[in-house]
Amino acid sequence: MWVYEKKLQYPVKVTSCNPTLAKYLIEQYGGADGELAAALRYLNQRYTIPDKVIGLLTDIGTEEFAHLEMIATMIYKLTKDATPEQLKAAGIADHYVNHDSALFYHNAAGVPFTASYIAAKGDPIADLYEDIAAEEKARATYQWIINMSDDPDLNDSLRFLREREIIHSQRFREAVEILKEERDRKIFF
């Protein structure tokens, strides 16, 4: 069960009317290393992982939905007042003819979301290594988007999200260490 707070995890502000940025951001919405894939991956793995790290997967999986909501807000703000001509110029005419300015779970190239983006091997180490890789890939994706974006306010929110990926990766790495055991002795190193 979840408790919903009716606010974003971090403010989303967009300075410029630049629908092209929405085209890039959709990668983090419905892409293979996007926030939806992350949330579904972690929450699904919880059932077949040692008790010690279930809570971590719940926490991070939940936070990914908060990130998804931020991405959705960014895309919405970037496209809500755009005319069909502007969307065409931004290279998202194909999205428009199918969805108008509605959001949809597909990647920057228009490939629809698929469950094969996520894995659940049932092996705790394999699954956590996948999670670490997913966080690093999401971090890299944020970097590439920041490199393409010249909107300072949007980049500020993206930097926050990138920092969270770093922390998540750290926690998954620690989870691996916990499952490798000898934890008690390591504390005193």
Partner 1 sequence: MSSSNQKSYVPYHSPYDPCPPIGKKYYSTPPNLYMGFQPYNLPQYSPKEALQKGTLWPAFYDYYENPYERRR
Q: Decide if 56 contacts 132 (C-beta within 8 A).
A: no
186 binds partner 1 (CB under 8 A): yes
Q: Decide if 127 contacts 47 (C-beta within 8 A).
A: no
25 binds partner 1 (CB under 8 A): no
67 binds partner 1 (CB under 8 A): no
170 binds partner 1 (CB under 8 A): yes
163 binds partner 1 (CB under 8 A): yes
- From the list 63, 69, 165, 182, the catalytic residue is 165
Minimum CB–partner distance for residue 175 and partner 1 (Å)? 11
- From the list 27, 63, 130, 135, the catalytic residue is 135
CB atoms within 10 A of CB 188: 5
23 binds partner 1 (CB under 8 A): no
Q: How far is CA 80 from CA 28, 83, 86, 102, 136, in A?
A: 18, 9, 11, 9, 31
- Binding segment toward partner 1, per CB under 8 A, in 23-31, 77-85, 96-104, 159-167: 159-167
At a CB cut-off of 8 Å and minimum separation 6, what does 106 contact?
Answer: 26, 30, 31, 112, 113
59 binds partner 1 (CB under 8 A): no
> Does the annotation place 168 within a ligand binding site?
yes
44 binds partner 1 (CB under 8 A): no
Residue 67: active-site member? yes
Q: Which of 97, 115, 126, 166 binds partner 1 (CB under 8 A)?
A: 166
Q: How far is CA 81 from CA 17, 85, 100, 110, in A?
A: 9, 11, 11, 21
> Does the annotation place 106 within a ligand binding site?
no
Q: Which of 138, 146, 151, 154 binds partner 1 (CB under 8 A)?
A: 146
- Binding segment toward partner 1, per CB under 8 A, in 49-57, 88-96, 121-129, 156-164: 156-164
Read out DSSP for 86-139? HHHHTT-HHHHHHHTT---SB-TT-PBP-GGGS---S-HHHHHHHHHHHHHHHH
147 binds partner 1 (CB under 8 A): yes
Catalytic positions, please? 35, 64, 67, 135, 165, 168
